[in-house]
Amino acid sequence: METFSNVFQCGAREMLPSNQIHPMAGHWRDSYFHNNNPIVLELGCGRGEYTVGLAKRYPEKNFIGIDIKGARMWAGAKEAELSGLKNVAFLRTNIEIISSFFAKDEVDEIWITFCDPQMKKATKRLTSTYFMQRYQQIVRPEGLIHLKTDSPFLYTYTCEMLRLNAYPVLCNTVDLYADETDSLVDAKALQTHYEKQWLDRGLSIKYLQWQLTPKSQWEEPTIEIEHDSYRSYGRNYSSSSL
């Protein structure tokens, strides 16, 4: 990973009290991308296929894939390098400390694609109020957040979080590929490795898009939500198996 010029690595243990803000914070456009284009993050980017796919589809935007697992991220970094993409970077770090890597209002959009629903602990969910507070520190006012998920649990939880905190919801569908709404074209344009697996198993993809309006306080959902059960099945599972 250290051989790639498009990869930045810094774990939580390296962010010492005396160095809470990374040198790239506030300087992604001038020091790396060398343009003033919008910056879009993909959180939990895994193999980086969505980050790279978005960069190819939208050359007028800059994309940064973020994940802690370098072995998977390597594939995306390599593809971006071989493709000569100048609007792609990868940041290997803990998402919990994301506000240390970007200045206020430096980010325009965030994509959250097929993250672990973290059904046992709310503060680990990437759509929780815990993370909304962190995103607000770096995303411009009214910036966009996108969620694509196969998880009914995470979808239900996120809908409740958005309702409680009065975030403006721009798109909401429980079956992305069956929904013919024109505004969903971009959300359908790319599919991740895991997304294809869920679709092959007959599972529907949920999609939400909302604006991150500035807030001073948040209300965390407390409703009981039925846990996903299908994740315990093997790859041969499909919805018709039940």
Amino acid at 11: G
Strand partners, 147: 112, 208
The contacts of residue 13 (CB under 8 Å, 6+ apart) are none
The contacts of residue 235 (CB under 8 Å, 6+ apart) are 197, 201
Burial class (CB in 10 A: 0-12, 13-18, 19+), 98: buried
β-strand pairing of 139-149 with 206-212: antiparallel
Catalytic site residue from 116, 175, 186, 200: 116
179 as an active site residue: the answer is no
**What amino acid positions are annotated as catalytic residues?**
116
